[in-house]
Each structure stands twice: as C-alpha cells, then as structure tokens.
Amino acid sequence: MTTHSPAAQSPTVGIIYPGHAAEDDYPTYESSLKHHDDTGSVRLPVVISTIGVDEHTAAALLETGSHARLSEAYQRLQAEHQLDSVMWACTSGSFVYGWEGAHRQAERLAEEAGLPASSTSLAFARALAALGISKVAVAASYPAELADHFEVFLTAAGTEVVRFTSHDIFTAGEVGHMGREDVLQMIRDVDLDEAEAVLVPDTAMHSLQWVAELEAALGKPVLTANQVTVWEGMRIAGVTSPRLPGLGALFSPSDASRL
C-alpha cells in the first residue's frame, strides 16, 4: 500500500482510462504545459483498463467499472509511477452505479491504493459545487437510455438540469473521432440563458485543448469530462486551488465573472 502525503503544486495524478478513444488528451495536455512556466503543473500518467465490450449501455458499463477491472489497472499504474492520487476517468462507468454507488466505487479504489481516489462523475459534482453553479445544460454523446442515468446522478448531487440532450453515439470509439467543430455545435445546440454552465460528460471525447475556446463561444463555464478529471485529481492530491492554463473558469474561478 502506498503512503500518501499532500502533493505540491505539481502532483502526479494517475489516470485509469477504459479502452481506447481520447486517452491521448492527457499526455498531449501535459506536454503543452512545458511552454507555461508561470503556472501550476501536473503529471498525468495513463493506464488503459480492460473493458468487456465497447457499448454505451448500462450493462456494459457496470462491467467496465467493476472493482476487479479498476484494481488490475491500478496495479499496473502504480508499478511504474509514484502517484499522489488516482482517477477513474470514465463518467458513464461511474454514474451508472448511481450517486451512492459511485462513492462506494471510488472508496474501494482508494482503500486498495492507499491514496485519494475519485471518478469523473464525482468530479463533475464537486466542480459544480466549487464554482457555485446550480443550473446546468448537458450535451451528452450517449444514447438517451444511458444519458438518463447522468441526469439522475446530477439531480442527486443537488444540480438542476435545465436542458439535456443525448446524441445516440453507441461506442466510445466513435466519440473519440469527434472534432472541435462537432463539440462546439453540441454545446451551442444545448445552451440556454438560464444555464449557468454547460456540461459535456464523456471522457471518450477530446476536449483539453479546446476548453478555453468552448467557453469563449458560449460566454459561460463549460465543464468537460477530461477537464474535471484533471481538476479533481489535483484537488484530492492536496492542491487546494488547481491552476492550469487553457482549462477555463474551473482552473481560474476569478475568470468566470468575466465570461
């Protein structure tokens, strides 16, 4: 078991990522930080966890998020890296367990690792609380039947969903091919004036290089799955106010009032 001590401003956040879609978002963003000497930093080593089948269905994702699969992936991750925290980087593979189940999932991983652990679904809830946001619009890539689980999860977290769209994309692999213009169109289509932020919940979707542009397009915070995963991993590692360039109001809360 690894002993944890609070990280400095440059923690190592282990990313457990299911299958292959947008896992390159993390190393690509980490590499971009080399050009920003005046901000915080982070290391984001990624390990690919096994999946049964690549399907956006509740049954498949309950299996994908099973403790056995997360545990096996963590063992490979910690064998190569000294970690400060661990993130299960899968929104659907956590919210499908429900509010209480997602907490238990993260707690079991933390107990095994001896490190703070969380998931992307929990990261969304905590990011909204940190920004003081209570009303959101959601642009989900999933089929409606799966997407409904996320709306229920957000409601349990005390968040009011003022508009929710699903896009019926059946596999993570397909989502991973979506480009910047696709994502921009999704958030524009779902946005309402009363929504204080727009959420884009799939870690299979690339986003880390586009967050600032997405927020500029809407004039409000945009929370994406990979973005909140990095933030939550830094937060639970002991970084009290994560600051990173290009990742929007979540990483620069004072900027939110200017959007």
Where do the domains of the chain lie? 13-245
Which of 2-6, 165-169, 193-197, 224-228 shows the lowest per-residue confidence on average (mean pLDDT)?
A: 2-6
Summarised one tens digit per residue, pLDDT across range 119-152 is 999 999 999 999 999 999 999 888 888 889 999 9
- Highest mean pLDDT, choosing among 92-96, 168-172, 181-185: 92-96
State the Cα–Cα distance between residues 207 and 184, nearest whole angstrom: 10
Tell me the HSE value of 30 on the side-chain side, using a 13 A CA sphere: 18
The torsion angles phi and psi of 22, rounded to 5 degrees, stand at: -125, 30
Q: How confident is the model at residue 174 (pLDDT cuts 50, 70, 90)?
A: low
> Amino acid letter at 193?
D
Q: Report how far apart the first and last C-alpha atoms of the chain are (Å, whole number).
A: 44
State the Cα–Cα distance between residues 145 and 149, nearest whole angstrom: 7
pTM (two decimals): 0.92
Dmax over CA atoms of the chain, in Å, equals 48
Helical spans, DSSP H, in the chain: 25-32, 58-64, 67-78, 92-95, 98-113, 120-131, 144-156, 172-175, 180-190, 211-218, 225-236
Q: What torsion do the CA atoms of 248, 81, 66, 160 make, to the nearest 10 degrees?
A: -20
State the Cα–Cα distance between residues 194 and 102, nearest whole angstrom: 28
Q: Is the pLDDT of residue 257 over 90?
A: no
Task: Please give, one letter per residue, the 3-state secondary structure of 6-51.
Answer: CCCCCCEEEEEEECCCCCCHHHHHHHHHHHCCCCCCCECCEEEECC
Q: What is the model's pLDDT at position 180?
A: 80
State the Cα–Cα distance between residues 228 and 124, nearest whole angstrom: 6
Q: Judge whether 43 and 13 are in contact, CB under 8 Å.
A: yes
Q: What is the model's pLDDT at position 171?
A: 62
CATH among 3.40.50.970, 3.40.50.2300, 3.40.50.12500, 3.90.45.10 for 13-245:
3.40.50.12500
Q: Would strands 197-200 and 160-166 be described as parallel, antiparallel, or unpaired?
A: unpaired
Summarised one tens digit per residue, pLDDT across range 176-224 is 567 788 888 989 999 999 999 999 998 888 999 999 999 999 999 999 9
Pair of tokens at residue 41: 């930093």
Q: What is the model's pLDDT at position 158?
A: 97
